[in-house]
Amino acid sequence: MRFSLRIVALLTVLLTSCSSGPSEETIQGWKNEILKTEQNFAYLAQEEGIPKAFLTYAAEDAVLMRNNSLIIGKTAIAQQFESQDASGNSSSLTWKPDFVDVSNSGDMGYTYGTFIYSSQDSLGQTNKLEGVFHTVWKRQTDGSWRFVWD
């Protein structure tokens, strides 16, 4: 009987000492980090332009999906923006995340929300495209968040 009690006591200690994952406070902190990063990203796009913002917040291995094509890697993203800038069209992009979530390990997260992309054509008319965005974020080795999918 004593042996059984010792085993039960040992199992109880072992099971209660096992971590069941991060606390809600920790998860909320990570979500807030991602949300703040997304907000800073959107702000930079307004203040210094779309290319600067995307290149600042892209991970080296980031992927953009545009017009059913994938643009893979930060170098390719930079080249895509350079070719767009050559057209001389002015454009703006605004967006706001409506939802953020993060993995229990705190190394990946995602946001989604709505965006408005405005550009002027060669006749000076403004065209607007409204839609939904989805961004996947990855924590970098320095602790910062960079997008890996947009």
Residues 6 or more apart whose Cβ sits within 8 Å of residue 3: none
**Biggest alpha carbon distance in the chain?**
90
Q: What is the pLDDT of residue 103?
A: 98
Question: Model confidence over 98-132: pLDDT tens digits?
Answer: 999 999 999 999 999 999 999 988 788 999 999 99
Mean pLDDT of 130-140: 98
- Rounded Cα distance, 148 and 146, in Å: 7
Backbone φ and ψ for 59, nearest 5 degrees, come out as -75, 160
Backbone φ and ψ for 91, nearest 5 degrees, come out as -145, 160
- Rounded Cα distance, 114 and 67, in Å: 18
- CATH of range 23-149; options 3.40.50.1000, 2.60.40.10, 1.10.10.1400, 3.10.450.50: 3.10.450.50
3-state DSSP assignment of residue 103 = coil
- Rounded Cα distance, 147 and 108, in Å: 10
Q: Which two tokens stand for residue 132?
A: 């939904």
Residues 6 or more apart whose Cβ sits within 8 Å of residue 109: 30, 31, 34, 100, 101, 102, 103, 136, 137, 145
Question: Model confidence over 45-61: pLDDT tens digits?
Answer: 999 999 999 999 999 99
Q: Which of 4-8, 55-59, 91-95 has the lowest mean pLDDT?
A: 4-8
* Domain boundaries defined on the chain: 23-149
